[in-house]
Amino acid sequence: MTSPILELDGVSTDIAQYHILHDISLTVPEGGVHVLLGRNGAGKTTTLRTIMGLWQARAGVIRFRGDDIAALHTSDIARKGIAFVPENMGIFGGLTVEENMRLATHDGSFDRDRLARIYALFPALETFWTKSAWSLSGGQKQMLAIARAIIEKRDLILIDEPTKGLAPAIILSMVDAFREIARETTILLVEQNFLFAKSLGQTVAVIDDGRIAHTGTMAELVEDTALQTRLLSLSLDAHQ
Amino acid sequence: MNSITSAFERYGGINLLPVLLALIAFLLIGSPSTWVTLTVAGLAMGMMIFLMASGLSLVFGLMDVLNFGHSAFISFGAFIAASVLAALTAWVAADSVILNLLALLLAIAAAALFGLIAGWAFEKVIIKPVYRDHLRQILITMGALIVAEQIILAIWGGSPISVPRPHFLSGSLIIGDVSIELYRLFAFVLGLIAYVSLYVILNRTRVGLLVRAGVENREMVEALGFRIDRLFVGVFVLGSALAAIGGAMWAGYETLITAAIGSEMMIIVFIVIIIGGLGSIEGSLLGAIMVGLMGNYVAFLAPKMALASNMILMMAILLWRPYGLRPAVK
């Protein structure tokens, strides 16, 4: 296994008076797609938001390439090379597709080759380049959110439930796009859709009630139906 | 009904509202010359209100901060400009456009400079400790407004202060039966310049792009690597300077000012940003022009209704569009 790009060690997060994350420890190896699975309310989104500094960890250490980032401001974390695609996609509807993308570049200019690769991954973005992001469909907005995260080279992309509410055909195209993206960057993917997750993930962590319930390779989890049932309270068959 | 709505949208949509208002007023007023005079007065008033309201709307939209102390900048802008003009009486009264203009520009610059410096200090001392706490924002900014009014009373006294108008703006432009005050024309042009400048900054620069994005979703702007709190300081300082400039222009418009000028204008400013939609410069302009025109037309047609007219306008628009005419976030 490659060296970790991200490590969470004993991370606990509170939101107001509620204790959401309890002593979370998690290692994300460099390269590929790594999945954080869990049911609704298990703490998946809170984990990503805590990594991004959008919620402050009460305790614990978050290391990115060996540096503790737990106390850093969100913008400083982003500038270290971590991109975030939130569950609501975080699209600026009042801006055009181009402006949304331009905002994610460090100096406001595009690398033409990179942009061409993004157009190849998500052709709809080229079509709607000058249109307001409000006019995009749900799937196109998700494409824009992901494209924005890769408009410049990032070391790690945190993606929160990208398949939520999307049609199966769009989810299939997302699988191809994620495989392509994972060739140059590491993806930490939060998902509930096990079929999607298993088609991409190399490692998996299952979170339940704010605690890590399991970590291992995705192949192990896919092969062990009993483990799936115990961890996810549903079998792979039920999803198929 | 649908065909009327689609035709309305095709020919400009809500941007046509001031035109519709002016047309209705034309039918009710009857006299073209009176209508032109009232319309110009309304547009000038609207532009001055826009100066005062635009910064507050952006501050509201960008950081969700309720700043009732905004009107303190209007008051100080008015009094500082009045003092500068009083100190430069010889230039103000001189029969020289250059000297008149210099005196006016110095008065506006002094007000703007105060807005920039005091705005920065106000944000650091008053606003920053109460981010994300609306109740405390209301209490502390209301308190700051009271303190500001008392400081004005201590410096300039309780008696109304007369504001001299520069000689070249004290007359009227006569076109046929129509008489248009030059000061109103000047206020309109200045407001228009401010709007175009803000529009260009917001729509043609990277900082503007960040502000527009921040109004929609400040958390995401931070997740893209930008410090929205630093951007907010800039917007707050700019908004305070614009409010002070608006106050300076308003002082010349009223020609007699008291320490309550800011709190009197604050109600109108809030009506404008609510009508226009939070965080939107275009909305603020639309709201300000509607309020300016409505105030002048109703003051002529039904003087007893003048005070209530803008409240009624706000209620009508909110019933139709609960988020205002052009909110930054849909």
A-chain residues near B223 (CB < 8 A): 52, 54, 74-75, 78, 83-84, 86, 90
Touching check for B120 and chain A: CB below 8 Å?
A: no
Residue in A closest to B225 by C-alpha: A75
Q: Kindly list the residues from chain A whose CB atom is less than 8 angstroms away from the CB atom of residue B131.
A: none
3-state secondary structure of A126: helix
Classify residue B88: in a domain, yes or no. Answer: yes
Residues of chain A above pLDDT 70, percent: 96
pLDDT above 50 (res B6): yes
Using DSSP's 3-state secondary structure scheme, residue B33 falls into helix
CB–CB contact A94 B220 (8 Å): no
Cα A201 to the chain's mean position, in Å?
A: 12
**What pLDDT is stored for residue A237 in this prediction?**
45
Q: Which residue in this structure is represented by tokens 């129509």? A: B178
When pLDDT is cut at 50, 70 and 90, the band that residue A2 belongs to is: low
The closest CB to that of A75, out of B206, B227, B328, belongs to B227
pLDDT at B141: 94
d(CA B103, CA B105): 6
Q: Which of B71, B295, B258, B37 is nearest to B163 (CA)?
A: B258
Can you name the residues that pair with A64 across neighbouring β-strands?
A: A6, A67
From B220, which residue of chain A is nearest by alpha-carbon distance?
A90
pTM, two decimal places: 0.86
Distance in Å, alpha carbon of B317 to nearest chain A alpha carbon: 22
End-to-end CA distance of chain B: 24
**Contact at CB, B225 and A106, closer than 8 angstroms:** yes
From residue B32, alpha-carbon distances to B22, B35, B37, B211, B290 in Å are 11, 5, 9, 42, 19
Radius of gyration for chain A, computed over Cα atoms and rounded to the nearest angstrom: 17
| Chain B positions in Cβ-Cβ contact with residue A83 (cut-off 8 Å) | 223
CB-based contact B223 A86, cutoff 8 Å: yes
Instruction: Phi first, then psi: give them for residue B11, nearest 5 degrees.
Output: -95, 20
What is the number of structural domains in chain B? 1
First and final CA of chain A: distance in angstroms? Answer: 30
Q: How far apart are CA B61 and CA B257, in angstroms?
A: 30
B212 and chain A: CB distance < 8 Å anywhere?
yes
Q: How do residues A206-229 score in pLDDT, each as one tens digit? A: 999 999 999 999 999 999 888 888
Range of the domain at B241: 50-320
Opening angle at CA B250, ends B249 and B253, nearest 5: 95
ipTM, two decimals? 0.91
Average of per-residue pLDDT across B280-288? 94
CB B53 within 8 A of CB B275: no
**What value does the mean pLDDT take over residues B142-166?**
94
> Where residue A240 falls among pLDDT bands split at 50, 70, 90?
very low
Q: Which residues of A touch B207 (CB under 8 A)?
A: none
Torsion sign (Cα): B218, B219, B220, B222: positive
Cβ separation A102–B219 shorter than 8 A: no
Residue B19 falls within a domain, yes or no? Answer: no
> For residue range A57-105, what is the model confidence (pLDDT) as tens digits?
999 999 999 999 999 999 999 999 999 999 999 999 999 999 999 999 9
CATH code of the domain in which B122 resides: 1.10.3470
Would you call B216 an interface residue with chain A, using a CB distance cutoff of 8 Å? yes
Beta strands B161-162 and B256-257, pairing class = antiparallel
User: Could you tell me if residue B325 is inside a domain?
Assistant: no
In a domain, B41, yes or no: no
Q: Three-state secondary structure along B62-103? A: HHCCCCCCHHHHHHHHHHHHHHHHHHCHHHHHCCCHHHHHHH
User: Domains in chain A and their CATH numbers?
Assistant: 4-88+158-239 (3.40.50.300)
Q: Is the pLDDT of residue B177 over 90?
A: no
Nearest to A102 among B209, B220, B226 (CB): B209
B189-242: pLDDT as tens digits = 999 999 999 999 999 999 999 999 998 999 999 999 999 989 999 999 999 999
Give one DSSP letter per residue of A155-181, joined into a string.
SEEEEE-TTTT--HHHHHHHHHHHHHH
% of chain A with per-residue pLDDT over 90: 80
Which residues of chain B are within 8 Å of residue A95 when distances are taken between CB atoms? 209, 212-213, 216
Q: Is B245 among the domain residues? A: yes
| Confidence label for B330 from pLDDT (cuts 50, 70 and 90) | low
- Residue B25 maps to a domain: no
Q: Which long-range contacts (CB under 8 A, 24 or more apart) does A2-6 make?
A: A2/A29, A2/A30, A2/A31, A3/A29, A3/A30, A4/A28, A4/A29, A4/A30, A4/A63, A5/A29, A5/A30, A5/A64, A5/A65, A5/A155, A5/A156, A5/A186, A6/A51, A6/A62, A6/A63, A6/A64, A6/A156, A6/A186, A6/A188
Q: Which of residues B130 and B329 earns the better pLDDT score?
A: B130
Question: What is residue B301's predicted lDDT score, i.e. its pLDDT?
Answer: 95
**Average pLDDT over every residue of A146-166:** 94
* pLDDT at residue A235 in the model: 42
Q: Give the burial class of A109: count Cβ atoms within 10 A of its Cβ; 0-12 exposed, 13-18 middle, 19 or more buried.
A: exposed
The residue-averaged pLDDT of B179-187 equals 91
Dihedral of CA A90/A95/A97/A100: which sign?
negative
Q: Give the residue on A whose Cα is nearest the Cα of B214.
A: A92
Residue B55 pLDDT: 85
Average pLDDT over residues B42-61: 91
Contact B228, A91 (CB under 8 A): no
Q: Contacts of residue B324 in chain A, CB cutoff 8 Å?
A: none
Q: What is the DSSP letter of B127?
A: I
Kindly state whether residue B28 falls inside one of the protein's structural domains. Answer: no
Q: Is the pLDDT of residue A122 over 70?
A: yes
Give domain status of residue B6, yes or no. Answer: no
